[in-house]
Every structure is written in structure tokens, then in C-alpha cells.
Amino acid sequence: MFLLGPGGGGTVQAAPPRAAAPPRVTTHEPGAYPALPIESPYHGTLDGLAFGGYGELRFAEDREAGVSNPEWFSVGGVNGFVLAHLHPRIDLVGQAGWDRGADDFTLERAEVGVRVSRSMQAHAGIFLAPLGRTNLVHDAPSYDFAERSLVATQLIGVPNAELGIGMRRSAATGNGSKLSYEVDLVTGFDEGLVMDSPGGTRIPRGRNNYGDNNGLPALAWRVALCPAPERELGLSALSGQYNKTDLNDVRVDDPRWIHVVVADAMSTLAGVRVSGEAAYAAIDVPKGLGPLFAERQCGGSVELVRTLFDPVFHGWRGSRLTAALRADAVDFDRGIQGDSRSRLSASLNIYHRPLAVTRFGWYYEIRRDRFNNPTPLAGVTLTAASYF
């Protein structure tokens, strides 16, 4: 059974991982906005208490400039959530976990949602900022690669959860498509994107989900059009002040702003699932730091996934074998030739729907410093992820 996905609306989809038939859901009208947006298998019931989680293990042979990394085993991530249906219109959800990409414990949700109409929901607390589809849905067992894309981890900062308040709405259009949007006032980023980034401007270093840094909220929004279940086109952005201007009633700096725009899309062409994400960031850097800290950054990724066998073998009911290829790159400073990363990844995945996946992966990456000196990285990976 799955709760609402990232498109922002739709009915609850019956695909229960632990029951022969879907449990009866009575709290939400057909076509109405269901509970808070989590797309994961769960235990329990939406009529009362639902909970779930996942874990991921990573085994790899990683090499940087030909030197092997001794850390051949690591935990890719551990995540869990609980959702409480308090009232026919009110839901409360908490979600937290440790993520290898962020290398930190993240409180992703401590959120209350109130359905104000059949297709609209108000929400408040700590929640995932609507910056691209990947930040809204990034469960490891449902992903086709061992690592998320560079644009997701290095520019958007997935998982990026922030304190705020806002609203979501999803409604069907006249031609059978679904249009959804979300508008939030959130804490935004703080000056860690510059002050805690000795290698240059790094937006994920400014993630701040526990309090506003300067008393001025940032505006975050996303609009998504879904012409069909396997097709979506989304546009999102976040704009806000990231620095403090007053300290003990003394003016210490001028307001400095950050603007991040993310476009994402997915579709299916000739049996191949194609998805992509692109981001552009403009950062107002303090005077004098321009030669070292970038004011313009961008990145993008394209993923191709093809199902090879479904099921893998005749006796493996509920399984499938997929092949995936991804190209992604980020440019940390548009003003110079260096300070960038580019990567090519391939993965062969065995899924046992919808609980678990085993991935055999390979990647090759080039990292360039600010003087445009390249450093090659490569590796083979074996990862296993499962809901529990």
C-alpha cells in the first residue's frame, strides 16, 4: 500500500507488500487529497496508525586516482516514519533517518496536515522542500542506482528538509491530466553555504531545518503536470535571504540572497523510462569573496531505465530485472573552467516487488578543481536495499 506520491495528489494506490489483498481504506474520499505525501510501504492502517522504514547496505571497490578506498563496506541509509490519522481531516507524520550522501542524521518530517477541501491540504512543521521530484521521493529501495545524482546531492542537497508552513493542491484537468502545486514559506538556507564551505560555494552546507537564520522566510514552490501515471513535468524554485544582517541590534551586513530553480521530467519512450533533473542557482556572495566563491552554479542529470525480464525467472513471481544508465554533471562555478564534477553510472537491478532491490553498479567520474586539474574516480558497487 502506498501513500500519496510527489505529484501532489491522487488516490491511494493499492499495492500492499505484506497482504494478499489491500486493506480497506475508509478515511479518504475517492479522488480526494489523501494523507501527507509519503510513498512507502507501511504497516498498520491509514485509519489510525501507519509506520514503516527502509535500510540500505553498500559494498564497493572505489578508486580515486588509481588508489583504492579501504572503506569497502558502508551503510547507505536508514530511514523510518510514523503517520497518525488524528481526525478525518488531520494527519500527523514524523520521519527521520541517516543518509550516506548527506553524511548526517536528518529529521525529514515533523509535520501536521489539514485537509481544507477535497483537493487541498494545508501543512506546517518540518517537511521536505518541494525542490524537484528527487527531494520529495528518494527512498533507496525504489531507486535504480546506488547513489543519487550529482545535481540532487551537490546542488539541491537531497534530503533537504526545512521548517515552514504552506499548502498543497492537486486536481484533475479537463483532458484527464492532473495538475498539482505546492507553495511554502520555509526557513531556507543559512550562511553555511559560504562560511562552512572552504572549497567554494556549496549549497547543501547551508541546509537549515530547525529555525530561521534571519527572521525572513524563504519562498518555495513547485508546479507539476501529470498527463499520465508514468509522465510528469515539474518546475520548482526557492528564493530567500541566507545571511544575518543584524547582530545584537548592530547592522553587520547587507541582505544576501540565494535563488534555486529546478526542472524535472519523466516519461516512457519505446519501453524505456526516461527521467531528468536540472538545477540552476544564483548566490549573492559577499564582496571580496568573488574570486573564491561562486555566484552561479548549475547541473543536470538524465536517467534511462529498461525492464529486461518481468519476472526474472518463471518461478520468481513478483520479481523483475532492470538495466539503468545515468549521465550527470555539476558546475560549481560558471565563471571559471574548473570546479566541476561529471559522472557516468550503470546499474543492473534485481527487484522483488515491492520490498527490496539488489543492484550491481559501476561508475566513472571526473572531478576538476578550481585550476581545472582533473582527478578520475571509478568503482564497482553491490548495494542491497529493503523496506521493513
Burial letters for 355-368: b for 16+ Cβ neighbours within 10 Å, e otherwise? bbbebebebebebb
How does pLDDT run across 61-100, given as a tens digit for each residue? Answer: 999 999 999 999 999 999 999 999 998 899 999 999 999 8
Q: What is the per-residue pLDDT for 248?
A: 79
Phi, psi of 164 (to 5 degrees): 180, -170
Whole-model pTM?
0.88
Please say whether the beta carbons of 54 and 388 come within 8 A: yes
SS3 category, 35: coil
pLDDT score of 20 more than 50: no
DSSP structure class, residue 152:
I
CB distance 331 to 297 below 8 Å:
yes
pLDDT by residue (tens digit) across 157-177?
999 999 999 999 988 887 888
pLDDT at 41 over 90: no
From the number of C-beta atoms within 10 Å of its C-beta (0-12, 13-18, 19+), residue 211 rates as exposed
Q: Is the pLDDT of residue 3 over 60?
A: no
Q: Give pLDDT tens digits for 302-350.
A: 999 999 999 998 888 889 999 999 999 999 999 999 999 999 999 999 9
Distance of CA 197 to the CA centre of its chain: 22
Neighbours of 307 (CB within 10 A): 14
What confidence score (pLDDT) does residue 32 get?
A: 41
Q: Are 96 and 78 in contact (CB under 8 A)?
A: no
Q: Give percent of the chain above pLDDT 70.
A: 90
pLDDT for residue 2: 34
Q: Which domains does the chain have, with CATH numbers?
A: 43-387 (2.40.160.10)
242/326 Cα distance (integer angstroms) = 32
What would the pLDDT profile of 175-219 be if each residue is shown by its tens digit?
888 999 999 999 999 999 999 998 899 999 998 767 787 889 999
- Residue 43 cell numbers, joined: 504497516
User: What single-letter DSSP state applies at residue 153?
Assistant: I
pLDDT value of position 36: 57
Cα 288 to Cα 77, 98, 285, 293, distances in angstroms: 39, 36, 9, 9
| Cα(213)–Cα(242) distance, integer angstroms | 7
The larger pLDDT score, comparing residue 148 to residue 353, is at 148
Mean pLDDT of the chain: 87
CA 323, CA 361: separation in Å to the nearest integer?
10
Q: Shortest CA distance to 330 belongs to which of 139, 201, 179, 159?
A: 201
Mean pLDDT calculated for residue range 244-260: 88
pLDDT at 354: 73
Pairing of strands 296-309, 90-99: unpaired
